[in-house]
Amino acid sequence: MVYLGRQVLAELLECDKNRLNDLDYVKKAMVEAAIEANATVVGYKFHKFAPQGVSGVVIIAESHLAIHTWPEHGYAAVDIFTCGSKTEPKLALKHLRLAFRAKRVKYKELERGVVEDVAPSGHLVPDA
């Protein structure tokens, strides 16, 4: 099956709470994860919440990586979406698992834009 992109939706569990709450550390880990996946970083934006938690996105030429952390629960929700054949989203996930010292990881990988479902206009064809 041919598809336009792959998306990994992941939950990082039992992580290092201090790392999840450190804005600079989260930003660095996410940018490194994009590079590890062989993606081209074009920008990023991160925000630290009070009293805790970090959200952010790394924009890559191939799509994006996003994260939201709940340090109080040792938990992070991650979305890694890549297009094209040169990137490998699971390599980014592996990097993040190690960076945040996650004891458990749950994830799903989706094929996005299955070519046989995409109309010539580029819009998905609705089910009949």
Active site residues: 63, 68, 83
By DSSP bridging, strand 104-114 and strand 3-13 are: antiparallel
> How are the residues of the chain apportioned to helix, strand and coil, as percentages rounded to the nearest 5?
25, 45, 30
Strand order in the sheet with 54-60: 41-48, 54-60, 63-70, 75-83, 3-13, 104-114
CA–CA gap between residue 83 and residue 100 (Å, rounded): 25
